[in-house]
A and B are shown apart, each in its own frame.
Chain A
């Protein structure tokens, strides 16, 4: 029908392709490489934290005098770890890769709405990410003022900060293009019969994510440009009057507000955490529905909760700023909205857990990762509560408790969901199967070591140990009782790194393996599995555009001979 078959060169087919699947793979491979890189930076930092001021083995020579990681470079690595994990790793993987590849397939579209825009968004991302790492090579090293880039520190920082800002502007532009594309695709290109409440939860997750990106990123892009002006053109948007830095009176300072940056930054960065989690909800729901062999409990509650979460995420941002001198009224507002936003999260987690009841649960690798997600996200979400109330935040703000909290959400949370998605859709993308034993080993070791890294952070945080400390708190007496945990966490982090070898080896041998010829190995119901080949046809996806007749999770329908009925089946 709409399929176009013609010979293309390697370059046209794999590099400058406009096919959403190829672009999805490009996003996927690039972002996985960045994730590994960002993780490696963290493993280096963890050496300094575990054994302060001792030479880092193997790569010490690259770092500084005597192989010791200097504190300004520690700060750079921290910024780059955070930035890379979020903006070059998780978002491009969850939204760029999964969204691009599977969203059109799941809604029965032959491609994204704007294929060329799609390609240009990938290339902007690519260029932006290269700019990001160029920061390491400029005088003074990469940006070192926190991934939050708070002025005035960021304004007076070394050149790496300028590079970081240019990189961010590119990355933001790329995300904006990507989100327009997802929005238009979902609104316009759903196939016949695919009404809103028949959409798989995965599509809902991507759709709401796209809304968040498109509404939240522009203020940060503007803020980034303002900070660039402050740094390059001598303006003072974020610089108050009367600053004295290292004994020198600042000449360009005047009239600006450091808090303005924080408002603009968190106006993006709070919705950003939902950008990190909504696609994960989507993936986990797909994998779970498939492996419990029954419909997800409370489909509508899930959809409405996700939409509500999306809306609310725009009015909670200042809960990151309670301690900047906030008064009672504003404080009450943001505490209330923050408590309200916790309710839909409770609804979502509860609905997913209740879904298990009555299921016939298969424990394959994707399912293990999806199940692992649930308690880990639970811990991440719950530990957000004490940070959301200003009174308890007094003690916990800017401590390791915060680091533990959001890592539980993004690392054993989102990253597990992404692994679940990779194992689940691998047969679709390649026509081959992954090795179950390696997959399970990957899961169990990752699960143990993830907790080994992040659980002790709550203890240090309760003790009041600040984050972003080069020596892991060694100079502070109040940290003394809990310093031994630094080594526990570091060793766990390195073992977590080793555990990823199971994943890498699994990917390599599975890719080398034979095609199985199965189209729908998991007996799934959604269009991506039932109406396309594995891998799907080049441009155009479908032999015949499917028409949708039923909801996305018609598993174990009473009276049906098989335990799944595809969305495209009549009747």
Chain B
């Protein structure tokens, strides 16, 4: 079934630890759907042919006397109970309860806005600096980071560029500055609405680097295009282009990227960013 669904659209790559479980439950439900539909369909077509007026001019007042259909209904109910208890509840419980909090997990804030994803990394101290809406400056400081805060000194933020290490638990704290967006990583089967006024945790663990992923795209229409962040919730006239990029590094690559960001930060500081002279 999974093969069939992949043929009909489901991305072949399921690049997170929870991805395969989600694909599995999608496949199971599609089994149920397929069996019911084919069963109904065969019965439907057969009866239409057999009981057409020209073939069966006199209808039978009673019709079907057996109660086979009750078994069908019970079977559907049982299948659904199994789906719920065996698959749906555990997947959901893991999604909302197993949030990695410790130092081994990478903590990132994502602040959505019309029409961009602001990514906020805590820097080497692992603590997010203070932010304040009064400091928001759409060009220089979209998340309103307060650089005077001691934890903020080494914080890094990017726009539309999410970088994460592979095989490491990622804990994103998701929020929005303005309207509701929906943070989506289709190839990782991750999706979560970003609701203003709420900080919602989203966690996942990627199982494939961007480099590995790109090899799978060879020959397809998306050849050479890596992972994306999509916005799934209508958020205004630029909703369709609210796209971000996700880069999954191996550990060295991630460390190197971090290093690089810290260097940029140092340069910016020397440059006395935000100073009047800049204008």
Q: Which of B5, B59, B72, B93 contacts A350 (CB 8 A)?
A: B72
CA–CA, A405 to B192, complex, Å?
21
Known: A323-B191, A363-B52. A350 touches B63 (CB 8 A): no
Q: How far is the CB of B90 from chain A (nearest CB, A)?
A: 8
Report yes or no: A354 in contact with B64, Cβ–Cβ below 8 A.
yes
Q: Which residues of A contact B40 (CB under 8 A)?
A: 349-350, 353, 374-375, 378
Do A358 and B138 touch (CB < 8 A)? no
Q: Which of B172-203 contact A (CB under 8 A)?
A: 177-180, 182, 184, 186-187, 189-193, 195-198, 200
Contact present for A356 and B83 (CB under 8 Å): no
- Does A481 lie at the interface of the complex (its beta carbon under 8 Å from any beta carbon of B)? yes
Q: For the complex, count residues of A whose C-beta is within 8 A of B.
A: 105
Q: Is B230 an interface residue (CB 8 A)?
A: yes
Instruction: Kindly list chain B residues whose C-beta atoms are within 8 Å of the C-beta of A378.
Output: 36-37, 40
28 contacts between A and B (CB under 8 A): A75-B234, A150-B180, A150-B233, A156-B179, A240-B197, A240-B198, A244-B178, A245-B178, A247-B138, A331-B92, A332-B89, A335-B92, A339-B80, A346-B72, A347-B69, A355-B63, A358-B64, A359-B63, A391-B22, A395-B189, A398-B232, A460-B9, A468-B234, A476-B228, A477-B222, A478-B11, A478-B222, A478-B230
Q: Is the CB of B179 within 8 A of A153?
A: yes
Those of A327-352 within 8 Å (CB) of chain B: 327-328, 331-332, 335-336, 339, 342-343, 346-347, 349-351
A243, B190: Cα distance in complex, Å: 25
Interface of chain B, main secondary structure? mixed
Cβ-defined contact, B240 with A471, below 8 A:
yes
- Closest-by-CB residue of A relative to B13 is A478
Judge whether A145 and B240 touch: CB under 8 Å.
Answer: no
Task: Tell me if B30 counts as interface (CB < 8 A to partner A).
Answer: yes
With A323-B182, A375-B40 as given contacts, are A335 and B88 in contact (CB-CB < 8 Å)? Answer: yes
Complex Cα gap A150–B176 (Å):
14
Please report the C-alpha to C-alpha distance between residue A482 and residue B7 in the assembled complex, in whole angstroms: 11
Taken together as a complex, chains A and B put the C-alpha atoms of A293 and B198 apart, in Å, by: 59
Decide yes or no whether A292 CB sits under 8 A from chain B.
yes
CB distance from A266 to the nearest CB of B (A): 14
Chain B residue at minimal CB-CB distance from A147: B234
Binary flags per residue of B228-240, CB closer than 8 Å to A gives 1, else 0: 1011111111111
Interface set of A (CB-CB < 8 Å, partner B): 70-72, 75, 144-146, 150, 152-153, 156, 240-247, 249, 256-259, 292-295, 297-298, 323-328, 331-332, 335-336, 339, 342-343, 346-347, 349-351, 353-363, 371, 374-375, 378-379, 382-383, 385-386, 389-392, 394-399, 458-464, 466-471, 473, 475-478, 480-483, 555-558, 563
The answer to whether B138 touches A558, judged by C-beta atoms less than 8 angstroms apart, is: no
Determine whether B159 belongs to the interface, using a CB cutoff of 8 Å to chain A: no
B237 near A72 (CB under 8 angstroms)? Answer: yes
Given contacts A353-B43, A357-B63, A375-B44, contact A464 B230 (CB under 8 A): yes
B231-253, CB < 8 A from A: 231-241, 243
User: Is the Cβ of B96 less than 8 Å from the Cβ of A328?
Assistant: yes
B residues with a Cβ closer than 8 A to A are: 5, 8-11, 21-23, 25-26, 29-30, 32-33, 36-37, 40-41, 43-44, 47-48, 51-53, 56-64, 69, 72-73, 76-77, 80-81, 83-84, 87-89, 91-93, 95-97, 113-114, 133-134, 136-138, 144, 177-180, 182, 184, 186-187, 189-193, 195-198, 200, 220-222, 225-226, 228, 230-241, 243
Residues in A with CB closer than 8 Å to B41 are: 375
Q: A335-B84, A468-B234 are in contact. List 14 more A-B contacts (CB 8 A).
A: A244-B144, A245-B114, A247-B138, A256-B197, A292-B51, A292-B59, A323-B182, A323-B193, A332-B84, A346-B36, A351-B69, A391-B95, A469-B239, A478-B187
In the complex, are the beta carbons of A247 and B137 less than 8 A apart? yes
Chain B residues, Cβ within 8 Å of A342:
76, 80
Partner of B197, one of A146, A241, A293, A469: A241
Q: Given A152-B179, A470-B240, A383 and B33 touching (CB < 8 A)? A: yes
CB-CB under 8 A for A244 and B136, given A356-B44, A480-B220: yes
Min Cβ gap B94→A in Å is 9
Nearest opposing residue in chain B for A249, CB measure: B133
Cα–Cα, bound, A371→B87 (Å)? 35
Q: Nearest Cβ distance between residue A561 and chain B, in whole angstroms?
A: 12
Pair B47/A353 contact, Cβ less than 8 Å: yes
A359-B89 contact given A328-B97, A480-B220, CB 8 Å threshold: no
Q: How far is the CA of A83 from the CA of B136 in the complex (A)?
A: 37
| Residues of B contacting A374 in the complex (Cβ-Cβ under 8 angstroms) | 40, 44
In the complex where A357-B47, A556-B58 touch, is A243 in contact with B64 (Cβ < 8 A)? no
Tell me the smallest distance from the CB of A152 to a CB of chain B, in Å. Answer: 5
Q: Is the CB of A359 within 8 A of B32?
A: no
Contact of A153 with B180 in the complex, beta carbons under 8 Å: yes
Cβ-defined partner of A71 (8 Å) among B44, B184, B193, B238: B238
